[in-house]
Amino acid sequence: MNEDFSSLEDRIISVLKSIYDPEIPVDIYELGLIYDIQVSRKKEVKIIMTLTTPNCPVAESLLIEVKERVQSIEGILNVDLVLTFDPPWSREFMSEEARLELGM
């Protein structure tokens, strides 16, 4: 049963890695915008994420894209997307890969 959840989480992460911040050439997962992914036994997903700034011009469309793309994964019944700014995003949340990509 655990394998099922980990493979589902891997597929979610794979989808998140295909969504890019329009202003930074790095995907939202490596950028550190995804704070938490929870998958229930009923295959309902809760994603807690943030944006690089509360005034992000693409906030609405980015959130819709994340929800729709994750919802489209086979087997997922529901996606609850929670936007938070606590803690506020900072460059420290970026993966090593993202920092290298941006020359940091």
- What CATH number did the domain enclosing 33 receive? 3.30.300.130
Residue at 103 is within a domain: no
pLDDT value at 3 more than 60: no
Q: Tell the burial category of 96 from Cβ atoms under 10 Å away from its Cβ (0-12, 13-18, 19+).
A: exposed
The answer, yes or no, to whether residue 98 has pLDDT greater than 50, is yes
Judged by DSSP in three states, 34 sits in strand
| Chain mean pLDDT for the chain | 91
The structural domain count of the chain equals: 1
User: Rounded to an integer, what distance in angstroms lies between the CA atom of residue 78 and that of residue 53?
Assistant: 27
Residue 49's φ and ψ, nearest 5 degrees, are -140, 170
Taking alpha carbons only, the member of 92, 102, 88, 14 closest to residue 51 is: 88
> Is residue 53, in this structure, part of any structural domain at all?
yes
What does the pLDDT average to over 75-103? Answer: 94
Q: For residue 85, give its domain range.
A: 2-90
CB atoms within 10 A of CB 13: 12
| Residue 100 within any structural domain of the chain | no
pLDDT of residue 25: 86
Mean pLDDT calculated for residue range 70-89: 95
